[in-house]
Structure 1
């Protein structure tokens, strides 16, 4: 069973098992969680409520970018003059940055930008160049997103999930997506009340959104509550087509993000691990992939912003 590459140190065996199931299917019923974990339904419910109420895990809907019109993605490294943290904080305040980190290596700050189109991408590049302390930027333009952090992208598929046409959504669907972003385990009755439909009609809509991969409901774990999170970025230069190397990278345990594109690298990867031993194992596995000529890594010293939500009605 895939463990979705998050830190589960610090949890006992039952809590860890429940969290893993919630990561795979955040809307799994308590009876199903009980059967998978080998405990009673009441025990599973109590454990899940405690994990959520104490902030160890948040169950949220991760909306597929193309469903909400996000089609342009870029990884931007910022060359900084002076302290890095103020630059990272300024970049994090931009509404279209989804990830910002202070890092080791030649560039002090990295950011991920997700916007509707190329014109919007250019506007964000201009805004980042104008941040005080930024001397220049370098862009990796993503052309294929093979694995997105915590998404339902299918690993190793001939066609990545995000390349399939985005399902059509109406305003009711968008409201449901916005509500699921906030609380992925919201009951059908609660969702129905918010959108003004019957419970069966609401359930049918939610199931359609899940089955079409418009949204994936998963558990996001607070690494501070479970152990030290080790995170790095890895840029690969490959021989030949980048897509084969990217697909192979997406199958490795510990790799939570993979994009093929253009720039200094051919493939960009994100890696999460519970400790440095696991981190080294994954980065070595990336270096050992066929046709990889060069691998550059940068360590995330401080993740200033990490968000998986979009501006949707709730």
Structure 2
């Protein structure tokens, strides 16, 4: 893997944000073996290194070294993705900010927040967007006020409540949340389950012995419970990649205002090949799309094609400049019982 200069991309540092002026405007190249490793980890984040090595033509030690480098450079993260709805968090939203100040200060403030799962710097009418998980709308309002309201430099923020995922084919994001009602999706957990999940969301590749030491429970119990958590789909180990830095593409969030008969229009939007994610939202815009285009010119063409759809009345384009916080495991603050 190598780094090459490009005018439109920036490499993120170890903690998800640029570490100095020398890393700005750089593109992070992945070779074929890197890409094959990432593909396997997306399918199974707990895949043994030896098995990965057999598939990509490397030793287990060589795979380990590549993973350490990619993770250390902030390009790749292996996470344990927990569907927030299964734990009673049924309110997902996107918060856009108009921020004036050093971007590093904003990231330092928000990077450790348990309910903020993704953050990207953008070019457009908003210059930062974050994704937030909350229990319900009251919790969302409180979380947004607490997380963003007191930050110096945040001039304004705009909340889009996610209502329904119409399309989700992202290469760099965890799978969409369940669509079942919260009361049906929630899973009852005991203290050991929660202790294991708290470790596994950040370190899903932990061995049973490592988990045994961290949760202080018998090995056989830890093994059985961990296997059950993965088998039941409560947690899914996968890999997330900073596509803004690794792919020579233009990515953006396009927020869409709709009017009239929307059924055919939404189907047309979902059918656009550049659209990876399409959500119905509550807020100033009725829908939101994450898109990937080959170039800024192609993004302009996509915007015009969207505006030509009958029910689309207006769009707001937020071009991804650099990833500040990679999509990461949602860190829950639940209690049992």
Indicate the residue corresponding to 1:114 in structure 2.
133
Q: Measured at CA, do residues 13 and 125 of structure 1 come closer, stay the same or move farther in structure 2, by a change above 3 Å?
A: closer
Distance 2:275 2:232 in 1: 26
Separation (CA, whole Å) in 2 of partners of 1:130 and 1:208: 41
Q: Structure 2 matches for 1:1-314, cutoff 5 A?
A: 10-30=29-49, 32-34=51-53, 37=55, 39=57, 43-56=58-71, 57-80=76-99, 82-83=100-101, 85=103, 88-89=106-107, 92=110, 95=113, 96-127=115-146, 128-145=148-165, 147=168, 150-153=173-176, 160=179, 165-221=185-241, 226=246, 230-238=250-258, 240=261, 245=266, 249=270, 252=273, 255=276, 257-271=277-291, 276=295, 280=299, 283=302, 287=306, 293=312, 294-309=314-329, 310-311=331-332
Structure 1 residues 165 and 101: alpha-carbon distance in aligned structure 2, compared to 1, 3 A threshold: same
CA distance in 2, matches of 1:112, 1:132: 20
What RMSD in Å do the two structures reach over aligned CA positions?
Answer: 4.2
Per-residue deviation at 1:305?
Answer: 3.3
Q: Would the alpha carbon gap of residues 220 and 106 (structure 1) be closer, same or farther in structure 2, given more than 3 Å must change?
A: closer
Which of structure 1's runs of 4+ aligned residues deviate more than 6 A? 161-164, 288-291
1:43-67 Cα shifts (integer Å, max 9, x gaps): 3523321122223433221221123
Give the gaps of 5 or more residues in structure 2. 1-10, 12-26
Could you tell me which runs of 5 or more consecutive residues in structure 1 were left unpaired when the two chains were aligned.
1-6
Please give the secondary structure, in 2, of the residue aligned with 1:169.
coil
Partner SS state of residue 73, structure 1: strand
Matched residues, number: 296
Normalization by structure 2: what TM-score?
0.68
- Paired residues of 2:269 and 2:306 also in contact (CA < 8 A): no
Counterparts of 1:38 and 1:93, CA distance in 2: 34
Q: Summarize deviations over 1:202-243 as a string: whole Å, max 9, x none.
A: 333233322333212112335698456743112233454679
Give distance in 2, aligned partners of 1:248 and 1:267. 10
| Partner deviation per Cα, 1:270-295 (whole Å, 9 max, x = no partner) | 3457x537974995698399776244
Worse-superposed segment, 182-191 or 221-230: 221-230
